[in-house]
Structure 1
Amino acid sequence: MTTLVTILTPGYADWETALINAASRQYYGLETRFATPGGEPVTSAGGLKVVPHMAVEDIEIDRVDAILVNGGTIWSTDDYPDISDLLRNAHAAGKTIGGICDGVMALARAGLLDTIRHTANGPESLPDTGYGGVAHYVSSQRAVLDGGIVTAPGTAPVSFAGAVLEALGMRNGDLDFYLGLYGTEHQAA
């Protein structure tokens, strides 16, 4: 069974990976799991408390198909969890890696954005990470998929969900229907 693990941190942005996890589980029958640093419960920016399935440190790369990094303010502080080795090893194993909003900073710190097309909240959100991919930065309001890596600004949970599912080989008419359904409010009236 295809398994996605979403990494959540204290103060994570509730809305950023809600759609990809709900659609994956409800419509596609995929397994969705959640991990936090140390396996500790975390509370979102909106006050939603989550008890995770596992600790980030216990993620077994060979048992997952995608690792998604949810955004949150911790990624722009000195208290961010260092998940660089996990992300590099997962990418080297051919797993889909996704980062949305400030979660993209974790991918930048891991060096995963240095040679591929990517986006983020803005180019100014990445330099303090040791980031070397400025030449590949794409200013986009939608998710960008390149080399099995999905990046998106925090305002793009719909296209992030679509790009993650596409990276997992699930691009079809059903996905296009769901993306159209969820994105209807953003179409010109």
Structure 2
Amino acid sequence: MKTIYIYVLDTLADWELGYVTAELNSRRFFKEGANQVAIKTVSNSKQAISTMGGMTIVPDYLIDDIIVSETSMLLLPGADTWNDPKHEPILVKASELLSVGATVCAICGATAALANFGILDNRPHTSNGPGFLEMVCSDYKGQDFYIDQPSIASNNLITAGSTEALLWTKQIIECLDVFKSNTLESWYNYFNTGDSKYFFELMQTLTSNNKN
């Protein structure tokens, strides 16, 4: 069982989590025998948060409830409120998770929060483009590890820019190993291009006996 903890905070960027939460919760394209995953929202209090789109989310857990284990994964979405010091505890937890081999996934503003906290100083990563982290992070020292690509999966850290929720999701699903490889490729190609041929390829992978 993998537990996917999603940190929720006010002004959370709704679109950045849409693909990953829908696919992991619905399991509609999971391969036979895929590991079970549990999705839990977590925050620094049990008070409801309001997303950028005006949706209300009541967190399931507090930060202290996160189990620091290789079987945990932490998703950090973008938001306009990451500069608030009250979010430091989740950054501490992210560092703890990385230290035990758990996967941390950050997109958009969450990459800036990791950068300010020093987590990206020695880890390959990306963000919203060259110069972005220097512009918004006074304590950023990871320039030598910045890779100018849309989304980067390196060891147990997955980072992406604000427009790359789809590729970020693809890399998260690949890390979890819950789709067959050909299902994942067809899924990504379909949503990335809108070409119906990939939809039919996707459907075909679900009926194939190939489990890879």
Alignment of 1:54-69 (within 5 A): 54-62=61-69, 64-69=71-76
Residue aligning to 2:171:
163
> What are the Cα deviations for residues 18-58 of structure 1, in whole angstroms up to 9, with x where unaligned?
21111112123522111122132111111010111112232
- Tell me, yes or no, if the aligned pair for 1:109 and 1:130 is still in contact at 8 Å: yes
Given candidates 101, 113, 120, the residue that maps to 1:106 is: 113
Offset at 1:79?
4.4
Contact 1:74 1:80 in 2 (8 A): no
TM-score, normalization: structure 2? 0.79
Moved more, 42-51 or 115-124: 115-124
How do 1:32-181 residues align onto structure 2 when only pairs under 5 Å count? 32-62=39-69, 64-75=71-82, 77-79=83-85, 81-82=87-88, 83-127=90-134, 128-140=137-149, 142-170=150-178, 172-181=181-190
How many residues align? The count is: 184
Partner AA of 2:169 in structure 1: A
| TM-score (normalizing by structure 1) | 0.87
**Matched position secondary structure for 2:14:** coil
- Contact (CA 8 Å) 2:70, 2:100: kept in 1 or not? no
Partner residue in 2 for 1:23 = 23
- Give yes or no for contact 2:107–2:162 (8 Å, CA) kept in 1: yes
8 Å Cα contact 2:6-2:75 kept in structure 1: yes
Rounded Cα–Cα distance in structure 2 between residues aligned with 1:21 and 1:115: 29
Amino acid at match of 1:8: V
In structure 1, what is the equivalent of residue 9 of structure 2? 9
Q: Distance in 2 between matches of 1:84 and 1:125?
A: 19
Residues 54 and 147 (structure 1), Cα distance of their counterparts in 2 relative to 1, 3 Å cut: same
Percent identical: 24
Change (3 A) 1:22 1:47: same
Q: SS where residue 5 of structure 1 aligns?
A: strand
Listed one character per residue, the Cα deviations across residues 99-139 of structure 1 (whole Å, up to 9, x for unaligned) are 00101123223433222221111343323252221011122
Alignment partners' CA distance in 2, 1:129 and 1:56 = 26
Distance in structure 2 (CA, Å) of the matches to 1:6 and 1:33: 6
Q: Give the secondary structure class of the aligned counterpart of 2:131.
A: helix
